[in-house]
Amino acid sequence: MVTKIGFIGLGVQGLPLALNLVAAGHEVHGCDTTASPLDTLREAGGVVSTTAQIARNCEVAFVCVATDAQVIEVVAGSDGLTSNGSSGLVIVNHSTVSPATTDRIVAAAAASGMALVDAPVSGGARGAEQRSMSFMVGADDAAFAICEPLFRVSGSTILRTGAAGSATIGKLAHQVTIIGNILAMAEGMRLGTAAGLPAETVKAIMVGGLARSFIAETWGEIKMAPHAIPIYAKDLENSLQLASALGIELPGADLMRQQLHTIVP
């Protein structure tokens, strides 16, 4: 069945996710603040729309933007989804935000008779292009049933975490772990190369031992900076705020925040 899908935010991850949905036969209406990804979507068979048009015309609206403020504006702003859509619209938030932001957009959606699916993703542009993304999903049964086949278009792992809000917490825990992995790899590489070992030898040691990870395997191949730094900084800040609210300490995450500009490849 062809589904009318809106996709707001056609960035590094959003564009390939939207293109996958077009390739799967869905009618995809895209919205972004820059022209280039809109041209790419149109050339692939998608439709260029505004957020308000997506709210009025689509059954499911995906949100994949960078900041909490952008998510709130897209979902709950005067030109946003809840202000312009009808009851029954399913809103999927792929953006990594704070628990407070997720609570806010869940409430805004519910007040308009809509469902909010909390669905942060992991895998980056490469995962989206290779359709090997991991989806963390917080949703009720009805919304999950609608969205799961759409997630499977781009994802090899669909992990349901509970109610909306639970996936946001899981994604923040994931981000603390992955950025810690980057910090460890950066310092291991720095130590080995400073002592005279070739970088490729140090990397091979990491990949061949207990330090093996996706970060180790792709070190030097995936160039995340500079676009990743503000995103990771935001994720660490949200993680540290959550930790403070819970009364726990994350000293490693605090160190990662200080070192971001020197560790992100």
Q: Which residues of 155-190 are buried (b: 16+ CB within 10 A; e: fewer)?
A: beebebbeebbbbbbbbbebbbebbbebbbbbebbe
Task: Please compute, for residue 129, the number of CA atoms within 13 A of its CA located in the half-sphere on the CB side.
Answer: 5
Angstrom distance (rounded) from CA 82 to CA 110: 9
Instruction: Note the pLDDT tens digit of each residue in 150-191.
Output: 999 999 999 999 999 999 999 999 999 999 999 999 999 999
- Could you give the angle at which helices 35-44 and 14-23 cross, rounded to 10 degrees? 10
**Helix or strand (DSSP H, E) at 262:** helix 251-263
Domain residue spans of the chain: 4-164, 169-263
CATH homologous superfamily for the domain 169-263: N-(1-d-carboxylethyl)-l-norvaline Dehydrogenase; domain 2 (1.10.1040.10)
Catalytically annotated residue among 171, 203, 223, 234: 171
Catalytic residue list contains 223: no
Q: Quick check: 27 and 17 in contact, CB under 8 A?
A: no
* CATH code reported for the domain at 4-164: 3.40.50.720
Least confidently predicted of 71-85, 183-197, 220-234: 220-234
Name the residue type at position 183: L
Q: What is the pTM of this model?
A: 0.95
